Amino acid sequence: MPFVGEILRHRSVSIVGLAKNAGKTECLNYIIRRLPVEYFNVAVTSIGIDGETTDQVTGTAKPEITVREGMFFATSEKHFRQKRPLSELYDVGDEDTALGRVVTAKALQEGKVLLSGPSSGAALKRWMRSLKDFGIDLILIDGALSRLSTASPAISEAMVLSTGAAYSANIRDLVGKTAFVVELIRLPLFTGPEPALRVSSFSSLDPGLLKGNRVIEVEGALTDRLLQMVKNGLGEGEIELVVGDFTKVFCSQELYRAFVRRGGRISVRLKSELIAVCVNPVAPNGIVLDSDILCQELSAKIGLPVYDIVKNEYEI
């Protein structure tokens, strides 16, 4: 089944790019084009600013976001006034952002929009709850690596990941880095027993505590500093660290691997479903990777289909 069909099984899906220019907006537009909006109510927003014609950092051209007739969208007052298709206004939020309040509207015709929605994960969740009276079947959230919290299962049920040459211009390195992110997304759910010891990234961990506590709750972020302290204190036997979800893991791949080799394990309280991975083989500096090789090698590594949206749109 094409991955857009999988999206329809969920109430909320985040589209997350691992780097700027990784093809996230192309992926979002592809999904929007393929959704059966004629009988399926869809709302879309972004936790950052998306839909600009030019990247503010690299100066390169960017694809704009096109909403279809009947779709709901949320953006700031500034961007709602600046560029919108003919729309019906449904709600103006109470919370201010740097670009004004968040406006929720329904597109009465197809058109291009600038999306600059709720500015935090908490505000995003409140906006999602506010849609309950509008009969929304699916919420699409435009995210980014810097705002990976949008992919947290506390916010969205599932996610689509975009990666590409902008993340790494070497196929082997790109596959390895992307596969590690996928591995974190797939961390197993915690099944118990409940931890007696709780630590945070600011803790000064006494190695002696590890002897009697084989399951440890991590409050907040799991950083290299904290993981190194746990790794240094490992003795015989396994130890399990429990984090809220994969977006709380901020450790390097090298240290993570060393921790696992020493008998360490990481599990999560909440888990996201990864629906698909899309790639953009073109980097802003002009480097172009072999799309077929990239898709094949990454797919083999992660055990999921990998799509080049631009090259193979009508085959997916």
Rounded distance between C-alpha atoms, residue 316 and residue 307, angstroms: 8
pTM of the model: 0.89
Rounded distance between C-alpha atoms, residue 21 and residue 221, angstroms: 27
Query: Do 12 and 139 meet the contact criterion of CB atoms below 8 Å apart?
Result: yes
Looking at the chain, list the stretches that DSSP marks H as alpha helix, in order from N- to C-terminal side: 3-7, 24-34, 77-82, 121-130, 171-185, 224-232, 253-261, 291-302, 309-312
pLDDT digits (tens, 9 = 90+) for 258-272: 999 988 999 999 998
pLDDT digits (tens, 9 = 90+) for 32-74: 999 998 889 999 998 866 545 555 555 555 568 999 999 999 9
Exposure class string for 273-287: b at 16+ Cβ within 10 A, else e = ebbbbbbbbbbbeee
The end-to-end CA distance of the chain, in Å, is 9
Rounded distance between C-alpha atoms, residue 261 and residue 78, angstroms: 51
Predicted confidence pLDDT, tens digits, the chain (316 residues)? 478 899 999 999 999 999 888 889 899 999 999 999 888 999 999 886 654 555 555 555 556 899 999 999 999 999 898 877 899 999 998 877 888 899 999 999 999 998 888 878 888 999 999 998 899 999 999 976 555 667 788 889 999 999 999 999 999 999 999 999 999 999 999 998 899 899 988 877 777 777 778 899 999 999 999 999 898 887 767 889 999 999 999 999 999 999 999 889 999 999 989 999 999 999 988 899 999 999 999 999 999 999 998 887 656 5
